[in-house]
Amino acid sequence: MVIVLERSIREDHKRRIRDFLEARGFRVREIVGEEETIFGAVGHLGIDLREVEVLQGVARVIPISKPYKLASRELQKDDSVLRVGPVKIGGRRIAVIAGPCSVEGKDEILEAAHMVRKSGAVMLRGGAYKPRTSPYAFQGLGVEGLRYLKEAGEATGMPVISEIVSPELIDEMIEYVDVLQVGARNMQNFELLKAIGSRNVPVMLKRGLCATIEEWLMAAEYLLAHGAENVVLCERGIRTFETYTRNTLDISSIPVVKTLSHLPVMVDPSHATGIRAKVPPVALAAVAAGADGLIVEVHPTPEEALSDGPQSLHPEQFERLMRDIEALAPVVEKELLRLPERHERVPAFAGVEATAAATEAEMLVAFQGERGAFSEQALLRYFHSDTVVPAPQPDFRSVFNAVLEGRCRYGIVPLENSLAGSIHENFDLLLQYPDLSIVGEVKIRIIHSLIGTPESSIEDVARVYSHPQGLAQCARFLDEHPQWERVPFYDTAGSVAHVAKLGERSVAAIANAEAAAVYKMKVLRDGIETNPQNYTRFALVARSEDSHVDRPSKASIVFATPDTPGALLSCMAVLSNRNLNLKKLESRPILGKPWQYMFYLDIALPSDPTPFEQAMQELAETAQDLRLLGKYRAG
């Protein structure tokens, strides 16, 4: 059952409720959400719910209908996130685990680790104990393989995962491994699941060869019921009549499980297909279906692999796959999880947790608009740290001022929309604040929703508020309702706040669906934008002393040119002669100088910084008022 606690519950009342339930044989788990705190109580004994409802501090009691209690979304509405060191599986990011099927030797696993780490993997896989169909096949190196795996993980800064096949191996494996993997053959090895659960270690549970979704979730329940708190599910294909591929990937299980359960869901496209060439398209399909991550087999030389060579990717194939995932991620409103480079100076936004010494001001991030704005969505997508606090500002200049004055450590502003073009105000502000620099960027897809009061329906709507651009971007949908009055408002999320304040069924707003949750409103219609190819690029700005980014992949500069023939061409030749790729070029009038222009450029940076540095030196002689706006990693 779910026991919803009163918001102002006293600690002694909370303790008495827990004691009452545990005395009657229930296992109790406290879950603190944004809106409410609950107790999840699971046990074998029956109880009259009214006995619980009358206890002091209890707001209401909700029975859980699903047989899998702790894994059910009835118990926990918010998605769980599995945390292993710097890696988080679940939420807004896509995590990729990669490595060979089995650890074959120290040099092999070390080479594989460096290879997949460079391409963007965040966790290293490798089997030390291999359950094989044939007793004559390679069974793994055992504890020696675990030692090699741990050494490779430590050398590359990645947590490691390996399959466990027996309860007797738990103590040995947790000495070397960060996440235990329960393979398909052991999904219903209940004694193994009980033993792992009792140790409360992170665990990945693969779906059995012929298991139904409910059987899979019931296996997860064994882990959770015996104490496991960090569990991630993995779909790896099921056995069907089809023989062309190794297994049949049940792609529909991803959205189904994410509806039924709060647990993260990963996909193993390698075992799902068993064919190297089929792994990338199936992996991308899994991401499109909503998977929280992938576990992919990659080998330095697959033809020489002792296990599963035909389904292991070549290094260049894995590199291409990671680039494709990065391109696809914004479409499903996610970002590809990246680990910070080792031994580098890492800003707070680059994927590390905030230190205990960090002050609240250091973690504040300014954005323009009300809570729930697209800018807030962008900063939450970009930042890894849970301690980051969004700080709403009334306008873009206030964002820059908040960072300059030290009230916020970073600020995030939109620079360009794929449909409406550049946000010129922010390009001009970048020029007016020379002590601030761009330190990062993120792109998000702009999805508009019609939002009304909790009691309203689309038939009730008579008036719609939104930013003029929001109204324009939903023109086709609004044209289907010509009787509606369209009211321009200063901000999309602000329009939702305004509608919430009015509390009228006939009034609605157009904004990001997440704004509906912020203001406890109702989404009446989702995805109403006219053009789905609607993306906005945001820039993260910081004070110059906080602007260092290791291994940047992009730079933004601005300059003017002398009033002479071919002046701009001469500047472009400086970049071309050093093989620097120009990603954007735009002109803006110079304030106070009619008919004179500044040129804004985005440039792709090679791994060797020398060509760009030489180009900047030459541009300083060729152009006028040259300024570097920032070097950062492209989003």
- Would you please indicate which residues are annotated as catalytic (active-site) residues? 536, 538
SS (H, E, C) 262-320: CCCEEECHHHHHCCHHHHHHHHHHHHHCCCCEEEEEECCCHHHCCCCHHHCECHHHHHH
- Which residue has tokens 């030196």? 617
Under a CB-based contact definition with an 8 Å cutoff, are residues 407 and 361 in contact?
A: yes
Query: Maximum distance among all alpha carbons in the chain?
Result: 88
CA atoms within 13 A on the CB side of 617: 7
Tell me the β-bridge partners of 632: 554
Q: Long-range pairs for 602-605 at CB < 8 Å and ≥24 separation? A: 602/554, 602/555, 602/556, 603/554, 603/555, 603/556, 603/557, 603/575, 604/553, 604/554, 604/580, 604/634, 605/552, 605/553, 605/554, 605/555, 605/580, 605/631
CA distance 58 to 39: 10
Q: How far is CA 86 from CA 93, 207, 315, in A?
A: 13, 26, 24
Which parts of 43-175 are beta strand (E)? 58-62, 82-84, 87-89, 93-99, 123-125, 160-164
Under a CB-based contact definition with an 8 Å cutoff, are residues 252 and 217 in contact?
A: no
Which parts of 426-533 are beta strand (E)? 436-445, 449-452, 463-466, 485-488, 507-511, 522-526
> Which has the closest alpha carbon to 575: 616, 542, 629?
616
CA atoms within 13 A on the CB side of 304: 7
CB atoms within 10 A of CB 530: 15
